[in-house]
Structure 1
């Protein structure tokens, strides 16, 4: 646990240790023993590779360390240039494009790739990297055994062939989410967010003129935002096809710079793009070998680093960019990632985590009006007005879909670009806020399993009360994220009047369990809080009973023996602890313990601290004691605008109902 002198657990300075592996401890052990590190939690086996499409499965895969692949192997050679990273035999250009963007920001890069790592000094075959995961930074340790076929790296590699930092970052990220196969197919925004902790969103290129778009992108780059872009493929068969201009459909490109050339009668606006493959470049006007450069002063060409080399990086005019590309992905970096001198000091991110529980808080979309009100609700209070309108605003207002928003998105339908009136209406509002909803832990081994998610925002009176069914039957939302989308995150940027709002987060269909993370990016002084359910119970005092000395002693003893480095117990250890104290008739199954833990503030780790475990144990134990004293009980809870009486103690204490009651009766 962090002391007063330590940074908070989960910060970049004090990250969560993934798999309870501490880099410094493991490195010291390896240096002392003289044995290179071999990671038992991500072994050099097929299960770590998973099931990416293998173009040549008959040729064996070997696992080799960098110095076995290249005699001149280094971790980083000179600088981490954007041209270093090349894609291997894995469909993860989204991840590598995000990594290319990151290399343009050294301070951010060092948060993901800690300095002082080497294949020579204090080399022990072990490396560590840090990734943002839903409000916390996680440190992932890996060994340096990499999958190789016929002497070449199977997946990402450096263009110099003897540099290995990008391959090791890729391996660490694969370990974090399960396997290399889990990296296949993704959204650039995922990588951008997990490398920075920022908020990523999409811009429809057709919604702006080339000049306005260039100005927005240049402003975003100057503020340290990460940018990438792609051409939408109309069908699966179109993905990977090369256009006549040398661009690849459905492929992610990093936008690394914006510049302009001034001529006596004209001004040329340029954008620099990077193809993570490291080859196949744009061949149109202003490309590396474009004839347009012949009339440009050599000093200007040198200034903007025009290179006639097939390295995947090239310049393109803003006008051609607007005609050829469809979508820009933009990531505004978390203010915490900037130095203290940052101009973003007046902005802050507010974060909350929660879950949709079967039969409880998974109410579904507004289409299901009997249960929609049960979805998690968050109060948003806007007080701080914008000082100025930003002419170079780098954001769209969010996902389209104002009409019929309680439908699921059809990925084959292009959003309607004719929404300018709505956007102008948004611009006259006085408080800028960006809301993002992420679903957690849906990128499972070798497959994606995203739910359709969305959020709605309602203007409400200032009283902090939970909105019931009648409110939603009579009121329409002031704003929403758009149609329900099966992707990790949905977002919307708004300019709203000062006041109190409630954000309701939901899946499209009810009774679908899942975890989520919601956050707002707004001026300091605005707040986001959890809504309390307006429930009553004769057991409310029982749920806040103090921990007995005997139970506290048992908790301390269990934590001393079983707790991990973060001083927390996982769900299995909590189940063992509780069942060692409770009477046999009241033993709790694993799923009930998991749902009980979700009701505590655990940042989604499904683990409890000493204090949380003691409090929860006291609540459950005292509740069971009270139930054992009476044959019948009467508990009133506010459900669907009516009072439901539960008179059978056995029914009341069934595992599924206990899980629900713990959340409803939480103090």
Structure 2
């Protein structure tokens, strides 16, 4: 998707800054003022909060001091470890943080030209298909003694993390709206990527509740707490020259506690004896430090033993000019809206079998067997927490393979090709392998009758022609007085054939099949050297003349011309659903029976919205 930037609540950073510089004023944001409403909506605030500009907190404020690092951040008196952990990860990726903090040099303080400072900053977050440009002033909440109340840097002169947190709070309604969350959401907001949850089955930190939540364990880890993974390395064990010839390797993960303190105290923790197995050069490459800065190393086995969940944020490579694997991205917006009958677009999950197919439906093609990535995202609701309606809906989706020529919405539920989990998360991810064919994906809320907007993203290796299917049946033709109207719908599934023989040939033929109906046709793939191919060819036909039979023809593919091996006429009786038949092929030229037979299944109805 092309990257598009939208100003948050129509505030233009450049216009506002020019106006402030013109009048020699520092910016004061009317949309996020230094009031209690910008801080809390439910909590009782401390009585000694004072909003200060960075120049009132320190002598020499800077956006960055000696660059940006994952070690800069310290979580403040706000339960937003999920967001701070994601910010630690953000700091390790220059290409990403430079997008979140645009034109950072221009935004920074310039001691040589203080007149160019206007007390205004802007940050960008990816939301619902767009990069949202959020403008803030530099007034920050401080506690008694002048220290920052919320996220702060190791260096008292550095303010990038505090200002970024303020912009994120503004986007979400207030600071308290950041209490409790999913690290995956912040990672997606910072990158525009897709988040993939991984369950670590060996995890020993079970879900903590009540007093156990955020309590420190004997190993130094904190229950129910989010940590940022800031590096992954393969460590060479041993010291001296011989270590270069050893094959012993250890997978290591570097993590950071958003508190900026309280670290893992087990194997490979800061100063542990395990580091004696590693050369000084290797330790320096890893940047091992013995200090309580919240950052520590663990080996992969311990990581899997102590943690329950891992979130991977995938920045999908959609570049056309790349040496790495690239994907084609397709994005469609939709909305679940309750309605009546066929106009309903909020039918709930597949458990609601009477209304499930009344959800929005999206069609795509798979050219050959390949991995497909799906990400369903509902509209962010965190900003609605002030009104008490900020909880996510449980969402998910189902994928179905449909007839190769289907153009209209599904009205019967076919076998599932793939299915996501249903969870009350902002987004749901699925990676699955699909074979060649036409498919429909149906995103839903778990319960019927719920209303919200959604974004469905799909990543494929080849063009998918991803589109929404809105029509339930063919529109009446203006020429119906001449051609007649559609009066019957028939689906036919050519499952397989047996006993196919090409007369005079010494080997089994290369075969394909065609299904023909009233001037339209569909064709199967070619099956090499097969007398018993599994065609698995599905087609659907809207018919004006039901008395005319549907014809199945089986061919041997030749170099110069194709040879008809046999054909059969199919009469699909009305209102017969899922009827299986074995039909013998006929020789159309000789008017006699040909060698071989086909297995088919048919369904037919005079109601065009039955199939």
Q: Distance in 1 between matches of 2:269 and 2:607?
A: 64
- Contact preservation (8 Å) 1:230, 1:328: no
- Normalising by structure 2, what TM-score? 0.71
Determine if the alignment matches structure 1 residue 30 to structure 2 residue 30.
no
Q: Distance in 2 between matches of 1:529 and 1:536?
A: 17
TM-superposed CA distance for 1:339, in Å, is 9.8
Give the structure with the larger strand fraction: 2
Q: Work out which of the residue numbers 217, 224, 231 in structure 2 matches 1:257.
A: 231
Map of 2:324 onto structure 1: 343
- Contact preservation (8 Å) 1:11, 1:136: no
Map of 1:237 onto structure 2: 211
Determine if the alignment matches structure 1 residue 284 to structure 2 residue 223.
no
Q: Distance in 1 between matches of 2:381 and 2:50?
A: 30
- Contact preservation (8 Å) 1:59, 1:149: no
Determine if the alignment matches structure 1 residue 103 to structure 2 residue 91.
yes
- From the superposition, tell whether residues 58 and 136 of structure 1 become closer, same or farther in structure 2 (CA, over 3 Å): closer
Determine if the alignment matches structure 1 residue 445 to structure 2 residue 425.
no
Determine if the alignment matches structure 1 residue 129 to structure 2 residue 67.
no
Greater CA drift, 265-274 or 505-514: 265-274
SS at match of 1:206: coil
CA-atom RMSD in angstroms? 2.5
Determine if the alignment matches structure 1 residue 355 to structure 2 residue 297.
no
SS at match of 1:168: helix
Map of 2:560 onto structure 1: none
TM-superposed CA distance for 1:93, in Å, is 1.0
Determine if the alignment matches structure 1 residue 369 to structure 2 residue 364.
no
TM-superposed CA distance for 1:187, in Å, is 0.7
Q: Distance in 1 between matches of 2:209 and 2:91?
A: 32
SS at match of 1:352: strand
- From the superposition, tell whether residues 269 and 468 of structure 1 become closer, same or farther in structure 2 (CA, over 3 Å): closer
Deviations 1:97-139 (A, max 9, x none): 1111111110111000112221235210000111111111111
Map of 1:454 onto structure 2: 396
Q: Distance in 1 between matches of 2:292 and 2:404?
A: 60
Deviations 1:282-340 (A, max 9, x none): 1111011211112322111111111001111111111111111111100111435x795
- From the superposition, tell whether residues 354 and 143 of structure 1 become closer, same or farther in structure 2 (CA, over 3 Å): same
- Contact preservation (8 Å) 1:113, 1:129: yes
Map of 2:375 onto structure 1: 436
Q: Distance in 1 between matches of 2:376 and 2:607?
A: 26
Higher relative contact order structure (alpha carbons within 8 Å, sequence separation ≥ 6): 1
Map of 2:51 onto structure 1: 63
Matches within 5 A, 1:124-203: 124-150=118-144, 151-203=146-198
Q: Distance in 2 between matches of 1:64 and 1:245?
A: 39
Greater CA radius of gyration, 1 or 2? Answer: 2
- Contact preservation (8 Å) 2:332, 2:456: yes
Q: Distance in 2 between matches of 1:640 and 1:515?
A: 29
- From the superposition, tell whether residues 477 and 509 of structure 1 become closer, same or farther in structure 2 (CA, over 3 Å): same
Deviations 1:24-44 (A, max 9, x none): 111111111011000111111
SS at match of 1:100: helix
Determine if the alignment matches structure 1 residue 328 to structure 2 residue 310.
yes
Determine if the alignment matches structure 1 residue 485 to structure 2 residue 423.
yes
TM-superposed CA distance for 1:230, in Å, is 11
TM-superposed CA distance for 1:348, in Å, is 2.4
- Normalising by structure 1, what TM-score? 0.66
TM-superposed CA distance for 1:639, in Å, is 11
Q: Distance in 2 between matches of 1:356 and 1:58?
A: 41
Matches within 5 A, 1:520-559: 520-534=458-472
Moved over 6 A (4+): 536-540
- Contact preservation (8 Å) 2:252, 2:299: yes
Q: Distance in 1 between matches of 2:124 and 2:19?
A: 21
Map of 1:544 onto structure 2: none
Map of 1:382 onto structure 2: 366
Determine if the alignment matches structure 1 residue 41 to structure 2 residue 35.
no
Matches within 5 A, 1:563-602: none
